Amino acid sequence: MQNRKLKIGIVVGEVSGDTLGAKLIRSFREQGIDAEFEGIGGPQMIAEGFNSYYPMDILSVMGIVEVLKDIKKLFAVRDGLVEKWTENPVDVFVGIDAPDFNLRLSKSLKQKQLPIKTVQYVSPSVWAWRQGRVHGIKASIDLVLCLFPFEKAFFQKWQVPAAFVGHPLASQLPLDNPLVAAKHELGLDEHQIHIALLPGSRRGEIERLGPLVLSAAQILTEQHPDYVFLIPAINDARKQQIELLLKQYPEALQAKVRLMENTDTESKIGRQVMNASNIVALASGTATLEAMLLHRPMVTFYKLNWLTYHVVKLLIKIPYYSLPNIIAGKKVIQELIQHDATPEKLAAEIESLMDVEKSQIQVMQHITMHKQLLSGNSENPVEAILKLLD
């Protein structure tokens, strides 16, 4: 298989997937594998020579109601990729995260009986909710690449081929991570208290969660006028969206909020902002793992469309929503979900984390989990894919 040029299809739907995809492309090259890459990717993957047929943002849709609005467009994208790969098949299709889209795409490829191996990189949360999906995964996916060891154990129980490849951030981010150095990296005053506010990177998330974080910041500003709030914007469109929202708030708050725009192809401004902040308040998602690996005290929140939330609540099988709590198997960080996600509760939780003892306990738990993720016997994702092809 390594004697000829491999053709690898990849589809990602958000910044974290773009980061994993770019790293995967680099890993193939570093191991001397001659390959070309195509599908749907973001700026980091495109910078590595990836051929993206559609913009990554086209898949940035979350929630049942939200997806229904764009269902025709999503079907058209899926059918377009199936058509391209029917005419010119790739050797392997790697769906990175975005399970609702990628698992359907893998199923379509299998139904066409194309000579394409299918890989899902980042396990869908079947261990958490909608466990019946494991049967569809078994039928349409040849290999699941898992970020956490408990995921591989789950799939083995269901006889689904899986490899624990570890989370790249666990080895990428250092165990020793001084706050002052991180502040200097962003040109911030080390003596100021900085609060990171991350309502999400998608347009819909900022619409839904932007007012929550800004209203919480307004409450805190009235009580603590010395606090400075940092909000990352992954691109100009998101920056303009947040700026419009901010204009609805008093000038006193506007003066205390700094929008930090992304300046490179790696889209790492969110990580830099969290790293340079004393406290992190962020939307529940993959960024909670990043904040944990940066060892910053945090609180997480999320609000969905009411119908989506009630459907999810019926299907969920675990007591927690955020990765730090799921990995720990207990409540390490506060989760403010749906009706609990109010400006007052968010402001109160941020203020409570200013207590040195409380925040230090959380930080020590983050470091313990970081070490656990480093100690696992993980496989190399490129080798796992090549093994599948051979």
The CATH number given to whatever domain includes residue 283 is 3.40.50.2000
Pair 176, 71 in one domain: no
Residues 11 and 144 reside in one and the same domain: yes
Q: Which domain holds residue 226?
A: 172-374
Both 355 and 385 in one domain: the answer is no
Query: Looking at the structure, do residues 133 and 23 belong to the same domain, yes or no?
Result: yes
Evaluate whether residue 35 is within a structural domain: yes
Q: How far apart are CA 161 and CA 344, in angstroms?
A: 46
Number of folded domains in the chain? 2
Q: Do residues 346 and 382 both lie within one domain?
A: no
The amino acid occupying position 90 is V
206 and 98, same domain (yes or no):
no
Same domain, 143 and 183: no
In-domain check, residue 48:
yes
Question: pLDDT per residue over 249-262, tens digit each?
Answer: 999 999 999 999 88
* 183 plus 153 within the same structural domain: no
Residue 259 lies in a domain: yes
Let me know if residue 248 belongs to a domain. Answer: yes
In a domain, 1, yes or no: no
Residue 65 has pLDDT above 60, yes or no: no
The Cα 52–Cα 124 span in angstroms is 23
* Average pLDDT estimate for 107-111: 96
Which of the four pLDDT bands, split at 50, 70 and 90, describes residue 378?
A: confident
- Kindly report, residue by residue over 162-174, the tens digit of the pLDDT: 999 988 889 889 9
Predicted pLDDT of residue 86: 97
What is the pLDDT confidence band of residue 149, given thresholds at 50, 70 and 90? confident
Instruction: Please tell me whether residues 204 and 252 are part of one structural domain.
Output: yes
- Kindly state whether residues 162 and 182 are assigned to the same domain: no
Does the pLDDT at position 188 exceed 70? yes
Residue 63 pLDDT class (50, 70, 90 cuts): very low
Dihedrals phi, psi of 16, to nearest 5 degrees? -65, -35
The band of 57, judged by pLDDT with boundaries at 50, 70 and 90, is confident
Q: Please tell me the predicted confidence (pLDDT) of residue 68.
A: 57
| Same domain membership, residue 159 and residue 185 | no
- Say if residue 130 is in the same domain as residue 267: no
